[in-house]
Structure 1
Amino acid sequence: MTTVVAIEVRGTQHCETTALGVLLRHEGIDLSEPMLFGLGSGLSFIYWDSKNMDFPFLGGRVKPFELTGNLATRLGLELLVQETVSPRRAWENVTGPIDAGRPVGLQLDSYYLDYFGTKVHFGGHVVALYGYDNHNAYLVDTDQQGGAVTTSLTSLARARAARGPMTAKHRSFTLTAGGKPPAPHRQIVPAITACADAFLNPPIANLGHRGIGKAGKLVRTWFQRTDAPQRDLPQASLLMEKAGTGGALFRNLYRDFLAECTELLDSGHLRTGHRLYTEAAGLWTEAAALIKRAGESGDAHCLVQAGSVLDDLARIEQEAMRALSRLGSETPRPIQP
């Protein structure tokens, strides 16, 4: 027996916004992927390194699932989150909504999913589940992973039960719109200013614009950080450009969000932020290319160049976020269609 919820699958780039798009369209809320990312205040930066890590990690967004919570709050949606250590209860938590005709979001470790070609542990992966039968689960993942895909129930159970960095205890969630339709465009300014304030005032030096500056210094030393630079540096570059970031470490998504906002609101600060993030997106792609070239060629000068690009990015993104933070002190006029 097969149980399937009718959904719309749309080609998207980032896992959490892909799943959110499926759940929200089912509720009659149709927003672009950049708008979902921006309204969820998704942009950030972290330079993450520790003794138990093989190589440093550059992250360009907020923690897994934080985007979902931000978006639900901004749009006034009911977010029901369930976690459990029981595999049986975890399966009941998703079959209940599916049987009732509602898709479910899942956070899991992508390593165990049958359709993933590159087997890397990532416990913060998010998918939308829209159906199941006696053997398989029907999921929506990013366009890169195939969009509408299937995986065995056994593999799904392993992915949900995984433990390690960024994992959750069989986390599943649903989103429900209330009686009053949300007004997403009214939340643009609060979403942007919250993102800017967090970026400009990080609690530790590894985050926000300070983290990018720190990365600029440390990336120059990466040949001393690895015994396999020909593996680790191209892998770091790949994660920046291709691993569900939408390119340029999520800066392409935020650039496109700001572009969409400039068509809705008349604000010089907003236009400045968009112009600077357009510049930043290109520089992130340049930095990723230099890191990849360093690993492939063994040329340390490429890492020096990448460090210089990151120095510029710390300055440019700080300037962009300062401009965007000023949105809170003005009332941008809506642009009439």
Structure 2
Amino acid sequence: MVGGVSGVGVVAGVRGLGMQHCETTALGVLLRHVGVELSEPMVFGLGAGVSFVYWDSKAMGFPFLGGRVKPFELTRNLADVLGLELQVEETSSARKAWQNVVAPLDAGRPVGLQLDSYHLDYFSTKVHFGGHVVAMYGYDEENAYLVDTEQQGGKVSTSLASLAKARAERGPMTAKHRSFTITAPSSLPSLRDRIIPAIKTCAHAFLNPPIANLGHRGIDKTAKQVPKWLERTDNPAEDLPRAALLMEKAGTGGALFRNLYRDFLAECAQHLDNTHLRTGHTLYAEAATLWTEVAALVAKAGESSDAKHLTQAASILHDLARIEREAMQALSEL
């Protein structure tokens, strides 16, 4: 018995990390296993994780606001910036998918999985999200043993049947039974050397979005759409508070990931004394506070059906588009 779990295929020494976002949580487990200790904001920032998307279509019940890059892009970015070997497996075969997980586990290595959280036993809120990421560290005849965010319980378990369904699900943001492992080089590049490329990659993408739904243009578009949100739904008392909850609580670290990016920039300032970096940090600290205000106003609008809260939120969103654009312009000059 290892770590309270009996059976084969259990990696020793894995523990919950108390992190808030799913992909950075899984990466934290895999990185720690290969001897790399980084804070959650540093993992998020080096992975150029912060972004923005306003996503809406006729097929959707209600618009979605996203504050990070698409699923798994953060992992690929982090591997590139740190020189990690990222081994990714994808397959349409459930049998091959299980072999792809068992092999590294039996060799004593935790594995990252991308799956649909809807099917996981320990999720109390059943919503399809195909971009969820966990670290798997063991299994026995009936259960898989995972590390998820602090909000979801940290070290958790789910039945092998539920895990298979979660990995096989198809739809928005899903991947074909994706699993991945990380190998670190004998010596990592210094954080100081990697901070600037990671920040500039993020800033360039944010400042030069290919369509109006993304980056600073996406925030401006959201400001124009938000006042119509009461007309956009037949159930404002449910849809608007849920949108606010997704911004603040659904693994974002608060303020639609802006808290994480603010803290990343603050940590960078300990390694690098730079005026542009300090400006970016100051502006993202302001942005984080304002995103939390926007979420509160959206929730109030849903609870009261009073559009004045959405008008206030729209005004703040116009400010946020400007603040984040200025922040990224400063950071692009590092």
Asked if 1:241 is matched to 2:242, the reply is no
Query: Which whole-Å CA distance do the structure 1 matches of 2:198 and 2:236 have between them?
Result: 39
Root-mean-square deviation over aligned CA pairs? 0.7
Distance 1:223 1:234 in 2: 12
Post-superposition shift, 1:182?
3.7
Match for residue 333 of structure 1?
none
Q: Are 2:131 and 1:121 aligned? A: no
Instruction: Give the residue type in structure 1 aligned to 2:60.
Output: M
Query: Partner residue of 1:212?
Result: 219
* Deviation string, structure 1 residues 85-128 (Cα, Å, up to 9, x no partner): 11110000000000000000000000000000100000000000
Asked if 1:287 corresponds to 2:259, the answer is no
Instruction: Name the structure 1 match of 2:230.
Output: 223
- How far apart are the structure 2 equivalents of 1:2 and 1:147? 21
1:251-290 equivalences in 2 (<5 Å): 251-290=258-297
> Do the aligned residues in 1 keep the contact of 2:280 with 2:328 (CA within 8 Å)?
yes
Listed as ranges, the matches of 1:84-103 within 5 Å are 84-103=91-110
Q: Distance in 1 between matches of 2:9 and 2:318?
A: 52
Deviation at 1:186, TM superposition (A): 1.3
Residue in 1 that maps onto 2:147: 140
Q: Which of residues 18, 22, 26 in structure 1 aligns to 2:25?
A: 18
Show the counterpart of 1:82: 89
Aligned equivalents of 2:188 and 2:263: distance in 1? 25
Q: Is the 8 A contact 2:9 2:108 kept in 1?
A: no
Aligned ranges 1:154-193 → 2 under 5 Å = 154-193=161-200
The corresponding residue for 2:63 is: 56
What residue in structure 1 maps to residue 311 of structure 2? 304
- Whole-angstrom CA distance in 1 between matches of 2:195 and 2:329: 16
Show the counterpart of 2:323. Answer: 316
Q: Tell me, what secondary structure is at the counterpart of 1:130? A: strand
1:175-218 superposed Cα distances (whole Å, 9 cap, x missing partner)? 00123334333110000011001000000000000000000010
Q: Does 1:5 align with 2:11?
A: yes
Larger deviation: 174-183 or 135-144? 174-183
Unaligned segments of structure 1, at least 5 residues: 328-337
Deviation at 1:51, TM superposition (A): 1.1
**Does the 8 Å contact 2:46/2:78 carry over to 1?**
yes
TM-score of the superposed pair, with normalisation by structure 2 = 0.97
Corresponding residue of 1:332: none
Contact 1:87 1:161 in 2 (8 A): yes
| Deviation by residue 1:247-278 (Cα, 9 ceiling, x = unmatched) | 00000000000000111100010000000000
TM-superposed deviation, 1:321 = 0.5
One-letter code aligned to 1:23? L
How far, CA to CA, are the matches of 1:280 and 1:176 in structure 2?
35
Residues in 2 aligned to 1:274 and 1:132: alpha-carbon distance in whole angstroms: 42
Per the alignment, residue 160 of structure 2 pairs with 153
% identical aligned pairs = 73
Deviations along 1:4-34, one digit per CA (max 9) or x if unpaired, are 1122321000000000000000000000000
Structure 1 segments, 4+ long, off by >4 Å, are none
Kept in 2, the 8 Å contact 1:8–1:25? The answer is no
Q: SS of the counterpart of 1:218?
A: helix
Deviation at 1:238, TM superposition (A): 0.3
Residues of 2 paired with 1:234 and 1:216: CA distance? 17
Q: CA deviation at 1:223?
A: 1.0
Q: Specify the SS of the correspondent of 1:289.
A: helix
Question: Matched residue of 1:60: which SS?
Answer: strand
8 Å CA contact 1:105–1:128 kept in 2: the answer is yes
Q: Give the counterpart letter for 2:312 in structure 1.
A: Q
1:137 alignment partner, SS class = strand
1:111 correspondence with 2:96 = no
* Residue aligned with 2:256, SS: coil
Displacement after TM superposition at 1:303 (Å):
0.5
For each residue in 1:232-253, what CA deviation from the matched residue of structure 2 results, as whole angstroms up to 9, or x when unmatched? 0000000000000000000000
Contact residue 138 and residue 150 of structure 1 kept, 8 A: yes
Task: Report what 1:65 is aligned to.
Answer: 72
Question: Distance between the aligned counterparts of 2:117 and 2:8, measured in 1?
Answer: 24
